[in-house]
């Protein structure tokens, strides 16, 4: 499979006879991220924000394992199912489907 062939726009370029050879250069990516203050603030906000959610999931599985006596695999399935249920409940259905 050629580079970018999964993207419909690039696939049309290939079909038209063009060659797509662009590859992301890490140096350009990093310099672009440093110039964009919005993305820096999003990272600074988002990275610490993942810690509480990871803790809640880990604590929930451990709680069900110790308190209810469920095996770890069953506790994990319960937590994942609750997450899917809540995400569908609060999500915009037009975006989910």
List pLDDT tens digits, range 38-60. 888 888 888 887 888 788 888 88
List pLDDT tens digits, range 60-90. 889 998 999 989 999 889 888 887 766 666 6
Residue predicted with more confidence, 63 or 93: 63
Residue 92 is predicted with a pLDDT of 61
The packing angle between helices 37-67 and 72-90, to 10°, is 130
Q: Mark residue 17 as left, alpha or beta (left: phi above 0; alpha: psi -120 to 50; beta: remaining).
A: left
**Structure tokens that stand for 15 in this block:** 């079909």
What pTM was computed for the model?
A: 0.45
Interatomic CA distance for residues 64 and 57, integer angstroms:
11
């Amino acid at each position: 499979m050629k580079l970018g062939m999964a993207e419909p726009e690039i696939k049309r370029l290939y079909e038209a006879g063009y060659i797509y050879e662009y590859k992301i250069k890490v140096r350009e990516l990093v310099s672009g991220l440093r110039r964009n203050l919005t993305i820096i603030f999003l990272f600074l906000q988002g990275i610490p924000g993942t810690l509480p959610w990871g803790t809640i999931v880990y604590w929930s599985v451990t709680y069900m394992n110790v308190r209810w006596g469920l095996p770890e695999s069953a506790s994990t399935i319960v937590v994942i199912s609750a997450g899917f249920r809540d995400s569908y409940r609060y999500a915009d259905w037009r975006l989910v489907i």
